[in-house]
């Protein structure tokens, strides 16, 4: 599933391309992706509207419209939101587009999702924060609310294994399986450690690495380890810099120990048993 760096990369790629553009046409080849209203009503409401910009909340993309409505996109596990200048959308993921929006300038916003786990909503902009999927989200790691003091106090309250906690979208948003592995490796913390057993010194390091790893991943356009591509169909390069994720049996880059893999919360978890305690 695309995590915060991938969704942020897509947002930045689309922003100059769609802002201020008028929606001329909507075509849906997979109507089931539309949630909360019938596809025909969705198309009618969106057609003729103007895009004001694009924002990100956790792993969701929010596209406010001049009408006072907002498009909400969730990419699911294999979704892609692509821009093109073709009369018909060409998905660079190799899949037929499931939905596209033609906007002024003869450009296409193409939503393609191989496994059809993606979702699209159209809601009044003033009610976006009340949307159940948005309302339950936790703190943004780049926000002023993500302070070291808050983070340290919250860890002390919880017995949850630390990897599962930092992946909990109701706690801190955007850290999925890939980056949880990388963050904990750089912080030197074993993924199965209970959160309340982490010292204040370790919490400070962990807090720093959450921000640092996500920032580094954004700089490299995210990690293309599965189907993820950016808004132009290109692959992110951060996967080449992974220290532990998907490196079972390979040498640790710090101590030359061997990277191991276990399962936590039914997710593959990679770590160095020598460096992470």
Selecting among 11, 56, 59, 99, the annotated active-site residue is 59
Q: What is the pLDDT of residue 144?
A: 97
Tell me, yes or no, whether 17 and 96 share the same domain: yes
Q: What is the pLDDT of residue 100?
A: 59
**130 domain residue, yes or no:** no
Selecting among 39, 254, 267, 273, the annotated active-site residue is 267
Selecting among 3, 6, 8, 182, the annotated active-site residue is 3
Q: How far apart are CA 159 and CA 222, in angstroms?
A: 31
Residue 3 annotated in active site:
yes
Tell me, yes or no, whether 152 and 120 share the same domain: no
**136 domain residue, yes or no:** no
Residue 115 annotated in active site:
no
Domains contained in the chain, number: 2
The DSSP code for 21 is P
**134 domain residue, yes or no:** no
Q: How far apart are CA 47 and CA 4, in angstroms?
A: 29
Please name every residue paired with 55 in a beta bridge, in sequence order, or none if there are none.
62
CATH number, domain containing residue 98: 3.20.190.10
- Please answer whether residues 7 and 221 qualify as being in contact, where contact means their C-beta atoms are separated by less than 8 angstroms: no
Residue 12 annotated in active site:
no
**131 domain residue, yes or no:** no
Q: What is the pLDDT of residue 103?
A: 59
Q: Which range of residues forms the domain containing residue 19?
A: 4-125
- Residues with pLDDT less than 50, the chain: 87-97
| Strand, helix or coil for residue 222 | coil
The position carrying tokens 């490299």 is 220
CATH number, domain containing residue 158: 1.10.8.50
Residue 2 annotated in active site:
yes
Q: How many CA atoms lie within 13 A of 160 on its CB side?
A: 14
Q: What is the pLDDT of residue 104?
A: 54
């Amino acid at each position: 599933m695309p995590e915060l760096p991938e969704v942020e990369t897509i947002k930045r790629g689309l922003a100059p391309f769609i802002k201020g553009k008028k929606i001329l046409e909507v075509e849906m080849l997979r109507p089931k992706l539309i949630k909360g209203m019938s596809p025909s009503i969705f198309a009618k409401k969106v057609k003729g509207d103007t895009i004001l910009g694009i924002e990100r909340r956790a792993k969701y993309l929010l596209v406010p419209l001049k009408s006072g409505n907002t498009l909400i996109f969730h990419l699911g596990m294999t979704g892609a939101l692509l821009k093109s200048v073709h009369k018909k959308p060409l998905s660079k993921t190799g899949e037929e587009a499931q939905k596209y929006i033609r906007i002024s300038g003869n450009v296409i916003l193409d939503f393609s999702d191989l496994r059809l786990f993606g979702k699209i909503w159209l809601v009044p902009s003033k009610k976006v924060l009340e949307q159940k999927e948005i309302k339950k989200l936790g703190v943004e790691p780049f926000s002023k609310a993500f302070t070291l003091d808050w983070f340290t106090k919250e860890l002390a309250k919880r017995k949850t294994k630390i990897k599962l906690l930092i992946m909990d979208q109701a706690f801190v948003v955007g850290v999925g399986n890939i980056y949880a592995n990388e963050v904990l490796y750089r912080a030197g913390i074993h993924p199965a450690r209970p959160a309340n057993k982490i010292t204040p010194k370790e919490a400070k390091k962990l807090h720093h690495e959450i921000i640092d790893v996500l920032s580094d991943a954004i700089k490299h356009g995210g990690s293309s380890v599965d189907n993820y591509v950016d808004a132009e169909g290109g692959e992110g390069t951060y996967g080449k810099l992974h220290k532990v994720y998907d490196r079972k049996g390979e040498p640790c880059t710090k101590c030359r120990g061997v990277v191991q893999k276990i399962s936590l919360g039914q997710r593959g978890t990679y770590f160095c048993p020598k460096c992470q305690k």
